[in-house]
């Protein structure tokens, strides 16, 4: 009897899969600007500032190892088969993502239910992409059946095991689910995230409306990815293709925002405010007596904004202090740091512009109220955006908690803030559930799709105008 070779019975990959190739990578330059009101009132303690950052492609350098590793994590729990269109389109989406993989990228497929198993290859390791391995992975999707429940932490742990073995490359996963994490405790999921943090980034997608935005946002925030709603299964393939293409454009991984503060200063918050709103404060890792690193994930050619808050001991009127200093760092696999080219512009009160290799946030105490009471425009916009997201999420939480009055109050404030900061997308979603005749929100008629879409949209933002 003749048997065909199955990827699920393969021993560790032959030498053609592990041959190192020469890749060209581009380490971006980081160009940033500091926006703040330099002046604090007499006795003032807290300094707020916005740092806008644009990563731009730099000169090519040779790298003798593959530059990327990808894992697709597909929910194959029983609910993915009802209706069957979900699992059918999930397979098509995975095939579309596989087709985007260039030769020489490490990859694997995971099937997730109450546990995690290798869908391809059979053994828990990554394989280098080439025409043959891409075809084998596509074929393996035919055998993906739907059965069991959902324990996302086990899926992430297996992905971390696979990707953690390749610290020299940019590591990324795509996770697709249609349900809630009902077969493990919240603490089990949090423990899995602690184990996976720093090993890879993860973009999360929920198909349908039976999954939890809060759960996937927790995952995407911890693993520096995105979360989004795919209402129609037929839309999955294009979304997967776009996510994979975006991942392939990343040029440097494991970038940290390093924040130095002087003795006696306290960091109140570090928040990424664009392109998605993510509080980085809980993820700080001390890197020295006066420094802490906040992981920002992988970067390509892109723009991001950050809002920082630092508390200082008050100075005397006329005294100036350095409140904090920001640089971006990348750690090599041997623990050394890869220098990143970076330049930050600072505009002085008299209009002069200086450029430094770090972002310097300062404080100058004054008794002139015309100086200390002026709000920096960009700080005001970013702060309002953060308040907008909180107002939406507080309103939805009040609605789910059975407090319609509080929900209406919060969403009304959100609607005003959305108009104030010119967030047309979020304003449009709020208007979908707003009744102009009664001047209130039709919460009892809000669909699950509308609620989830509003929740997700609340944390999506556009980088500030660089002018």
Report the relative pairing of strands 342-347 and 353-356 from DSSP bridges.
Answer: antiparallel
Topology adopted by domain 63-248: Rossmann fold (3.40.50)
pLDDT reported for residue 26: 60
Select the highest-mean-pLDDT range: 114-118, 339-343, 441-445.
Answer: 114-118
Q: How many CB atoms lie within 10 A of CB 194?
A: 10
Summarised one tens digit per residue, pLDDT across range 217-242 is 999 999 999 999 999 999 999 999 99
Domains of the chain: which residue ranges? 23-57+252-374, 63-248, 378-457
Which of 164, 120, 155 has its CA nearest to residue 140? 120
What CA–CA distance (Å, rounded) separates 327 from 209? 41
Angstrom distance (rounded) from CA 39 to CA 41: 7
Give percent of the chain with pLDDT exceeding 70.
93
CATH class (in words) of the domain with range 378-457:
mainly alpha
CATH class belonging to 23-57+252-374:
mainly beta
Name the band, by pLDDT with cuts 50, 70 and 90, for residue 265: very high
Residue 29 pLDDT exceeds 80: yes
pTM, whole model, 2 decimals?
0.91
Half-sphere CA count of 211, side-chain side, radius 13 A: 31
């Amino acid at each position: 009897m003749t048997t065909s070779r199955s990827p699920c019975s393969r021993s560790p990959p032959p030498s053609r899969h592990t041959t190192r190739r020469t890749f060209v990578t581009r380490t971006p330059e980081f160009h940033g600007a500091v926006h703040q009101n330099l002046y604090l009132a007499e006795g003032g303690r807290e300094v707020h500032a916005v740092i806008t950052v644009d990563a731009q492609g730099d000169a090519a350098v040779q790298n003798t190892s593959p530059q990327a590793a990808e894992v697709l994590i597909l929910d194959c729990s029983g609910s993915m088969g009802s209706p069957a269109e979900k699992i059918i389109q999930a397979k098509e989406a995975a095939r579309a993502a596989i087709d985007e993989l260039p030769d020489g990228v490490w990859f694997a497929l995971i099937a997730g239910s109450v546990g995690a198993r290798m869908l391809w290859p059979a053994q828990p390791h990554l394989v280098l992409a080439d025409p043959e391995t891409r075809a084998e992975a596509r074929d393996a999707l035919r055998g993906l059946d739907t059965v069991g429940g959902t324990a996302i932490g086990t899926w992430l742990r297996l992905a971390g095991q696979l990707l953690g073995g390749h610290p020299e490359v940019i590591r990324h996963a795509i996770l697709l689910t249609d349900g809630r994490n009902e077969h493990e405790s919240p603490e089990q999921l949090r423990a899995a995230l602690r184990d996976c943090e720093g090993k890879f980034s993860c973009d999360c997608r929920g198909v349908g409306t039976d999954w939890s935005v809060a759960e996937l946002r927790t995952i995407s925030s911890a693993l520096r990815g995105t979360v989004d709603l795919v209402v129609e299964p037929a839309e999955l393939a294009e979304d997967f293709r776009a996510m994979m293409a975006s991942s392939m454009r990343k040029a440097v991984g494991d970038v940290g925002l390093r924040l130095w503060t002087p003795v006696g200063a306290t960091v109140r918050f570090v928040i990424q405010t664009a392109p998605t709103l993510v509080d980085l404060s809980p993820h700080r890792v001390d890197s020295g007596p006066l420094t802490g690193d906040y992981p920002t994930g992988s970067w390509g050619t892109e723009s991001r904004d950050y809002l920082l808050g630092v508390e200082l001991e008050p100075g005397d009127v006329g005294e100036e202090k350095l409140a904090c200093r920001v640089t971006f760092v990348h750690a090599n696999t041997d623990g050394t740091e890869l220098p990143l080219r970076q330049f930050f512009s600072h505009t002085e009160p008299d209009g002069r512009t200086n450029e430094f290799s770090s972002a310097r946030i300062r404080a100058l105490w004054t008794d002139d109220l015309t100086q200390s009471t002026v709000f920096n425009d960009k700080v005001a916009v970013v702060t309002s955006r953060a308040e907008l997201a909180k107002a939406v999420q507080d309103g939805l939480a009040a609605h789910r908690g059975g407090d319609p009055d509080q929900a209406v109050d919060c969403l009304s404030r959100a609607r005003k803030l959305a108009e104030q900061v010119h967030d047309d997308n979020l304003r449009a979603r709020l208007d979908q559930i707003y009744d102009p005749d009664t001047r209130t929100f039709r919460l009892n008629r809000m669909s699950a799709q509308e609620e989830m879409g509003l929740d997700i949209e609340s944390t999506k933002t556009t980088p500030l105008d660089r002018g």
